[in-house]
Structure 1
Amino acid sequence: MKNPMGRFMIIIALVMSMVVAQNAFAETFDGAIEKITTRPNTILVDGTVIYGVKINYLFNQYNIDLEEGMTVSVEADEFVCSDGTIKNMATAITVGDVTVQLR
């Protein structure tokens, strides 16, 4: 007799990978930082809120001191939450000639 639990786990893994693939889309946001918040960790670039930019981490690890008005390029994945809201989660940020991978 074959293992039905193994088949079940494979099916679950396939379904989960399809759900994750449908919910993430990459996008790049270029412009000046309009606003910075720390709870939650967000920046506002060109009218778009981008989550997951940890200001203290960038300063402590890379000596990058983000300020409002500073020009940046942010790569972000777009996630559709279960309630239908869309959040842009930063995966990389470029300030000047320095690019930091965030995820």
Structure 2
Amino acid sequence: MALDAAFSYAWSYQHFPEHITEEGLEPHRVEQAFLWGSEDPDVFINIQKYPDVKVDSLGAHASQMSSTREERLERIKNNSGRHREKTGLEYAEGFRRITFNLGSLEWQLMHR
């Protein structure tokens, strides 16, 4: 749902007007989306400098995270371990990139 809203309506002044009036954001075309948790990621982000920040950020979601700090760090290590062979990094996040074809005449006509 969030991806649909971001891609389908980010270009329009008519949707989410509070983003313009309250946040000062401008409509734009979403060219790419990055999906976390893919079985076959094709983009990897080096997070070696930030494992503590990630652990603490996850812990801030108290209603969703009942695990201890040590358990969260272990989960991050395990997730990163899946990408170690491809990246050579101890800590990395993997994403599947989706690129939208925004140059098509059909898209341009639909979003005037």
User: TM-score, normalised to structure 2's length?
Assistant: 0.23
Higher strand share: 1
Higher helix share: 2
User: TM-score, normalised to structure 1's length?
Assistant: 0.24
